[in-house]
Chains A and B, each alone.
Chain A
């Protein structure tokens, strides 16, 4: 069965460190998305990609970057982790940008 996975599931890091969160999907979807979810807020879009070598900034992209070298993977990098980036991060993919998004299990990140 097709799926979308994220790793690690939990991560503790220190302020200033670089962190990379992995996202891998076997749906063969061109469209992939990274969100963060915080209490009191909806899912907020960080970056998204509509295909290989395509990346776009979302609503809350400052301090984050992504790269898309193949269809299956969209890693999210925090260049220099800050306490404000403590959150739950979800990766998602869809067949078309406006169609149903399928979510990974999430990564809980704590920045100390």
Chain B
């Protein structure tokens, strides 16, 4: 079967750095997305990786290792507004998105 694993919840301090991991086992791979979802709101796009390596976008970076079936989202200089759930999703061989259950990130002052 297809499986995406992420930690259920993480806590970090304002101004710090946090890394959210995602491991996947899917039938084929055509890219990996990270989305942010604030409570009661819709998911919004953060990043997309299809090749191995690090993609940096401001305070957020995303890393992919296809051979290890592994990705992480790195958030720097954490702000209170970063408190949200972070969803990892893999595009499988049928070009459908397989979603992880999400990681709830709690930021403390």
Contact = CB atoms under 8 A, between A and B. Distances in A.
B13 interface: no
Interface of A is mostly: loop
A40 B100 CA distance: 10
A101 B98 CA distance: 13
B25 to A, nearest CB: 14
Contacts of B99: 42-44
Interface string B71-109: 000000000000000010101000111111110000000
Interface residues of B, number: 21
Interface string A79-112: 0000000000010000011101111111000000
A27 to B, nearest CB: 13
Interface of B: 4, 30-31, 33, 41-45, 48, 87, 89, 91, 95-102
